[in-house]
């Protein structure tokens, strides 16, 4: 009994210390967030929420059981979509809340029918939010763990879990972090054996961890009509990547499509195209012309545009099918670590990526396993792309491999739900 009291006393002390540090950091960063809000238009309408000073307004039916899914940003929300839709199908009587931290994530969340999306507030007030929603289970996509939130929830399950070596080393160096980040988690559904090994090194019991694979491979594919002009797509691009991409195909008669990762960079990329005197059209103008029917769209593209700038959120899937291959952004320059390498496959486009995919190594290993591995650099990107576009035998071989790969993509979500059913988390 004395040992139990000592444990909870230490845990309470750790949590109190964390909250003091969190309050201090909030006071410190508030001026920077306010500056961004005033001069760059960021955090419009959600600044107080981000600072943990205001709870989001939610409609909660007290007669229903609630489920809460948290996905930090765009990539995680996309990964969560198939999982959420399975939750809706299996548990139609439960309300599902979907939280995220970013504008891009929120825009994607709004596209999922039947869920209530919202911006997650700062961890200072997540306790109150957990009490308000009272979720039967809190699901964390990939493991964006907020101590106050997970400590207050009844059942917490990490879906598509991963944990970096840096985090493992930090917990080893500061053991008290384990009580804040690891111990509150009920179960872990993880991407790979490497993640499972790291969790077990931190003392997580074997029966609480299951290797389910990466649910990003199970993302639901929208039935979208292919864009009528074929080209090469640079998806979710970051600073410097657009310029590398444009220079690579500067002297080639290839139609290029560019989709910046963050909406605040749309104007920056448009300015780059103007600076380089490259004829372009934006997806907003494209859709406007299509809607108005004022000009012949094919003629507009043929005569006036060499680049399509996709400057709308939620429209990327409409253009994958027009790209025989897609260059995955965040992989051509260091410091990002790559984005979802599998997503282009879901829409029939072959993924190409640069050498900087350290955050996507599991997906890279899957592509190798499926015979769809193609790592490029800025030096050989043009050569690889032109071969894929001009070699019909290579295209046929790739299409065959892609169909085989897609046949295995539903397994991770199926394994996840089998594990959750055995855990008996739902009433």
pLDDT in tens, 354-371: 999 998 988 898 899 888
Q: Please, what CATH class does the domain formed by 232-406 belong to?
A: alpha beta
Specify the pLDDT at position 150: 96
Name the percent of the chain lying above pLDDT 90: 49
Would you kindly state where each structural domain of the chain is located, as residue ranges?
45-218+413-423, 232-406
Is 50 exceeded by the pLDDT of residue 2? no
Specify the pLDDT at position 194: 92
Instruction: Put the strands of the sheet holding 95-100 in their side by side order.
Output: 115-119, 95-100, 66-70, 135-141, 156-161, 187-190, 209-211
Is 50 exceeded by the pLDDT of residue 414? yes
CATH code of the domain made up of 45-218+413-423: 3.40.50.11720
Sign of the Cα torsion 284, 109, 340, 221 reads negative
Radius of gyration from C-alpha coordinates of the chain: 23
User: Binning pLDDT at 50, 70 and 90, where does residue 333 land?
Assistant: very high
Specify the pLDDT at position 215: 87
Specify the pLDDT at position 293: 44
pTM: 0.75
Structure tokens at 82: 């198939």
Region 407-415: mean pLDDT is 82
Phi first, then psi, for residue 139 (nearest 5°) are: -105, 130
User: Binning pLDDT at 50, 70 and 90, where does residue 223 land?
Assistant: low
Specify the pLDDT at position 292: 46
**Contacts with 223 (C-beta within 8 Å, 6 or more apart), sequence order:** none
Q: What are residue 375's DSSP bridge partners?
A: 353
Specify the pLDDT at position 221: 58
- Please give the Cα distance from 382 to 362 (Å, whole number): 26
Q: Which among 3, 9, 2, 115 is positioned nearest to 66, based on CA atoms?
A: 115
Structure tokens at 151: 């400590």
On whether the CB atoms of residues 322 and 257 are closer than 8 A, the answer is yes
Asked if the domains at 45-218+413-423 and 232-406 fall in one CATH topology, the answer is: yes
Q: What are residue 158's DSSP bridge partners?
A: 140, 188
Task: Give the distance, in angstroms, between the CA of residue 235 and the centroid of all CA atoms in the same chain.
Answer: 13
Specify the pLDDT at position 287: 62
Region 393-409: mean pLDDT is 80
Task: Give the distance, in angstroms, between the CA of residue 16 and the centroid of all CA atoms in the same chain.
Answer: 31
- Please give the Cα distance from 330 to 346 (Å, whole number): 19
On whether the CB atoms of residues 308 and 281 are closer than 8 A, the answer is yes
- Please give the Cα distance from 56 to 118 (Å, whole number): 7
Residue range 156-190, pLDDT digits in tens = 999 999 998 999 999 999 999 999 999 999 999 99
Is 50 exceeded by the pLDDT of residue 408? yes
Beta-sheet strands, E only, within 162-211: 187-190, 209-211
- Please give the Cα distance from 351 to 329 (Å, whole number): 10
Q: Which among 195, 139, 131, 148 is positioned nearest to 167, based on CA atoms?
A: 195
Instruction: Write down the mean pLDDT value for the chain.
Output: 86
Residue range 257-270, pLDDT digits in tens = 999 999 889 999 99
CA distances for 419 relative to 89, 109, 160, 209, 364, angstroms: 17, 25, 13, 10, 25
Specify the pLDDT at position 216: 81
Residue range 285-322, pLDDT digits in tens = 876 655 444 444 455 555 568 899 999 887 888 888 88
């Amino acid at each position: 009994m004395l040992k139990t009291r000592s444990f909870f006393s230490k845990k309470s002390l750790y949590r109190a210390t964390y909250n003091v540090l969190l309050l201090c950091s909030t006071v410190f960063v508030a001026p920077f967030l306010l500056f961004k809000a005033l001069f760059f238009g960021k955090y419009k309408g959600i600044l107080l929420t981000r600072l943990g000073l205001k709870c989001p307004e939610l409609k909660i039916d007290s007669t229903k059981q609630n489920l809460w899914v948290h996905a930090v940003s765009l990539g995680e929300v996309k990964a969560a979509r198939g999982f959420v839709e399975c939750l809706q199908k299996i548990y139609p009587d439960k309300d599902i809340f979907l939280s995220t931290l970013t504008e891009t994530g929120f825009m994607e969340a709004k596209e999922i029918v039947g869920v209530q999306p919202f911006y997650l507030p700062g961890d200072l007030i997540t306790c109150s939010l957990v009490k308000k929603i009272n979720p039967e289970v809190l699901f964390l996509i990939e493991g964006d763990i907020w101590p106050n939130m997970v400590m207050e929830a009844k059942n917490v399950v990490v879906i598509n879990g991963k944990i970096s070596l840096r985090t493992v080393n930090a917990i080893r160096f500061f053991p008290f972090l384990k009580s804040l980040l690891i111990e509150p988690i009920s179960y872990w559904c993880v991407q790979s054996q490497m993640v499972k090994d790291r969790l077990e090194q931190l003392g997580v019991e074997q029966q609480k961890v299951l290797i389910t694979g990466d649910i990003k491979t199970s993302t639901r594919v929208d039935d979208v009509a292919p864009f009528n002009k074929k080209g090469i797509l640079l998806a979710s691009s970051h600073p410097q990547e657009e310029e590398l991409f444009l220079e690579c195909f500067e002297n080639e008669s290839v139609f290029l499509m560019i989709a910046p990762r963050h909406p605040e960079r749309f104007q920056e990329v448009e300015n780059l195209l103007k600076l380089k005197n490259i004829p372009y059209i934006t997806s907003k103008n494209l859709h406007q012309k299509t809607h108005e029917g004022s000009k012949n769209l094919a003629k507009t593209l043929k005569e006036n545009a060499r680049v399509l700038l996709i400057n709308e959120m939620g429209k990327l899937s409409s253009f994958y099918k027009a790209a025989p291959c897609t260059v995955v952004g965040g992989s051509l320059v260091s410091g990002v670590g790559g984005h979802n390498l599998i997503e282009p496959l879901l829409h029939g486009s072959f993924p190409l990526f640069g050498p900087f995919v350290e955050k996507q190594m599991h997906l890279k290993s899957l592509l190798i396993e499926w015979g769809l591995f193609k790592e490029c650099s800025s030096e050989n990107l043009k050569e690889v792309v032109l071969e894929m576009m001009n070699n019909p035998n290579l295209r046929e071989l790739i299409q065959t491999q892609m169909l085989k790969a897609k046949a295995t993509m539903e397994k991770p979500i199926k394994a996840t739900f089998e594990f959750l059913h055995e855990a008996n988390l739902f009433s």
